Amino acid sequence: EIVLPEAVDGMIEKSDVMATLNHDASRGILARSRYGNGTLSLQADEKGLRYSFDAPRTSLGDECLEYLRRGDINQSSFAFTVAEDSWSKQDDGTYIRTIRRFFWRPGTE
């Protein structure tokens, strides 16, 4: 997937985003960006959406760092709702999804 920078235009400032381990907030939160502020840094760049955070000094943060050190975690994903996208077939038969706009519902902050 490719996330175009304009897909997040205005979304960061309107959203409450949590970084979790395996999409499981019940285990705890690694970082959070509430309307563009907090311990989770979100920014659009020429490649799409970039995020970063410092792992908290908690059992969950320590667990996440250990998984990274061991190489057990070597990728990440994020949950989202798409308002506009397109798909293009590549020469090798695979598809690339381009996300042009995320969906935001007023009142869901």
Q: Is the pLDDT of residue 26 over 60?
A: yes
CA atoms within 13 A on the CB side of 23: 5
- Per-residue confidence (pLDDT) for residue 48, from 0 to 100: 67
Q: Is the pLDDT of residue 36 over 60?
A: yes
pTM for this one? 0.76
Q: Is the pLDDT of residue 44 over 80?
A: no
Q: Which of 77, 72, 101, 90 is nearest to 19 (CA)?
A: 77
Q: Is the pLDDT of residue 107 over 70?
A: no
